Chains A and B, each alone.
Chain A
Amino acid sequence: MLTHYLSLQFKLLNRNIRDFGMHPLLAYVLIFGLISGLGTLIFQRLPNYAPYIIIGICVLLQMRLSQKQRSDFLQIVYGNKTKRLLRMAENLIISIPFVTLLLVENQYIAAVGLPIASAILAFIDLNSKSIVLPTPFSKSPYEFTVGFRKSFLFILMVYGLSVISVCVNNLNLGLFSLFVLCIICATYYGKVENEYYVWIFAESPNKYLTHKILTAIKNTFWMALPMMALLTAFFPENWWIVLLITAIGMILVIAFLLAAYSTYPGEIGILELIFIFAVFIPPFVLVVIPYFYVRSINRLKNTLV
């Protein structure tokens, strides 16, 4: 039963990766490379905090599988005992690259502690459905309202990282947290809404997109403001770098938003993703953003008048 369930999950995951336009094997290599690259960087920059950060990232990922609704479904299908075994197996599989990283970095206590924590987490069901998290973005629907709630723990983590950057007097870490925060904001636009939520708008495609972009810029700014203030206060001579990173982050948010609508009602594919990351090369911004914009307008014409 355990093998059947896990192979089904593996099949579903592969299907999603293929829909995204990538070969699953390549995706796994990339994920592993990303974790090792990012992990090594964290160990280099923050040797004292790195094991905690690595464990934190792993647990955050595992928590996404601990939702009560999902757990209830597994219990109905497999019964309580098998459900716990399945949950443990899932969590342990997720922890593999992180444990490997900890072993490579000679963090043996953390490397033993993480699988234990993963197994314990399999016994905890998170019922986040009923706790309504207040958000400052409720007034301007809806991406930031929903996104803020979904990514709240990640936001807390990057804010924590920025505080650490001040404590250890490491501006680069602070800038990294600021940039990650902008990436989190960008992901709010990574998935286009159900057609009904585009259709309801009494706007032309042009006005609709302009409105979305302005809201995205405004809300990204408010989200980043406390971090910008913190970094500017403690590294005042580098205020312009803080501003520059925020500006680049906002361009990334806009690129994500437009890329999503440029494939509407479909999902962002690998080609769009490549174009998004091309915005980091300055001249490409002038091509990629207008290109996505024009394509988005054409796509939205079928739904908005």
Chain B
Amino acid sequence: MIKIVDLHKSYGSKSVLKGINAEFHSGKTYGIIGENGAGKTTLFRCIAGLERFDCTITSDLQPLKNHLGLLFAEPYFFDKITGEEYIRLLCYARHKRIDNIADKNIFDLPLSQYVTTYSTGMKKKLALLAVLLQGNELFVLDEPYNGIDINGSIALTEILLKLKELNKTVIISSHIFSTLSDTCDEILVLRNGIITETVQRADFQKLEEEIKGSRVKELVNKLGLK
């Protein structure tokens, strides 16, 4: 279990997270939604220990970062590194020996080619595959569906369901509501640096309608399209 109590994070005078409280349990998948700039990525970076922050994040996994598979919305890759070498690097970093990478290449990626020749979706798939092969207990996935094709999205949904079955904890952000409603047990709504709502599965539809109905139409009307 991971417990966050009153998490604050500021960049200079700009306060990004203003008192986050949340608990994440094993075998459950959590969705985080919020507008761009709401603080999702900052929250993920804090959980990963990539940011300094006020409060303590407690976990029964110690140290938490060594059990955490982190997928950034825009993964960074070195020049002149092949897909296979990238996977080996991530597994090597966690002392995980990996054999028969080709068998585990479920996204049919050209692993012997440089990653810089990959498309955006292929890069995302590679980063995801490497994080999965690290054998983590907790997964923090920032926009994992972005850029991925339809088959990849279906496979990713299956992977997330499998992780739940394996009693892993998954925290995921997505701007595509259906991807969250298909996989999550709870959705946390992040607004202006705080979690304003924690929505259980039974109320997902209500939440979706609320999002659709609220300000969206009003904003589109503001454009004055003719």
Contacts and interface: CB of A to CB of B under 8 A. Distances in A.
Interface in B81-100: 81-82, 85, 88-90, 92-95
B70 A142 contact: no
A129 B116 contact: yes
Interface stretch (B20-28, B71-79, B186-194): B71-79
22 contacts: A129-B114, A130-B114, A141-B85, A141-B89, A142-B89, A145-B80, A145-B85, A146-B78, A149-B80, A193-B78, A196-B76, A197-B78, A197-B89, A197-B93, A199-B49, A200-B89, A200-B93, A201-B94, A202-B66, A202-B94, A302-B52, A305-B65
Given A132-B113, A202-B66, A146 B90 contact: no
A126 B46 CA distance: 42
A196 B93 CA distance: 11
Nearest to A133: B80
B48 interface: yes
A149 B88 CA distance: 18
Contacts of B75: 196
Interface residues on A, range: 20 to 34
A15 interface: no
B70 A138 contact: no
Interface size class of B (residues with CB under 8 A): 20 to 34
B50 interface: yes
Given A150-B80, A196-B72, A305 B66 contact: yes
B50 A199 contact: yes
B224 interface: no
Nearest to B89: A141
A201 B93 contact: yes
Contacts of A305: 49, 63, 65-66
B117 interface: yes
Interface in A176-217: 193-197, 199-202
Interface string A223-237: 000000000000000
A303 interface: yes
B151 interface: no
A149 B65 CA distance: 31
A146 B81 contact: yes
Contacts of A302: 52
B112 interface: yes
Contacts of B90: 200
Interface string B103-134: 00000000011101100000000000000001
A189 to B, nearest CB: 14
Contacts of A303: 49-50
B76 A194 contact: yes
Contacts of A193: 78
Contacts of B50: 195, 199, 303
Interface in A273-305: 302-303, 305
A130 B79 CA distance: 11
B70 A141 contact: no
A138 B85 contact: yes
Contact of A132 (B63, B72, B112): B112
